[in-house]
């Protein structure tokens, strides 16, 4: 959504955005860019492939990918989320 919205506001000829995600678990010791130093830890990795269609210049494509990396969902996923689940109260 962020990529498409940005392209629309810039009036760029973006036609479609397709994003494919692949989730895997990797050992921290195999992750060169990771912060954690505990080599026994398993980390979640999400590989993202972005397909932009339309008559975009290479610079526009680079900018849209940059914008996508700054979207709220991307920031949330990178933040180390603490998810807690509880049973919902029954409706009154």
In terms of residue numbers, what domain contains 70? 2-78
pLDDT in tens, 26-66: 776 666 666 666 666 777 778 889 999 999 999 999 999 99
Q: Is 23 part of any domain? A: yes
What are the backbone angles phi and psi of residue 87, rounded to the nearest 5°?
-75, 135
Q: Is 85 part of any domain? A: no
Q: Is 20 part of any domain? A: yes
pTM: 0.68
pLDDT of residue 42: 74
Contact 18, 54 (CB under 8 A): no
Q: What is the mean pLDDT of the chain?
A: 83
Q: Is 91 part of any domain? A: no
Q: Is 86 part of any domain? A: no
Give the total number of structural domains in the chain. 1
Residue 20 Cα distances to 42, 47, 50, 55, 80, angstroms: 22, 8, 7, 21, 21
């Amino acid at each position: 959504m962020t990529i498409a919205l940005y392209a629309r506001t810039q009036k760029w000829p973006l036609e479609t955005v397709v994003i494919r995600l692949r989730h895997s678990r990797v050992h921290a010791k195999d992750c060169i860019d990771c912060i954690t130093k505990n080599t026994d830890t398993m980390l979640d990795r999400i590989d993202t492939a972005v397909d932009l269609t339309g008559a975009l210049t290479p610079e526009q494509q680079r900018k849209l990918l940059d914008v996508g990396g700054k979207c709220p969902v991307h920031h949330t996923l990178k933040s180390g989320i603490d998810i807690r689940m509880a049973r919902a109260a029954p409706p009154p």
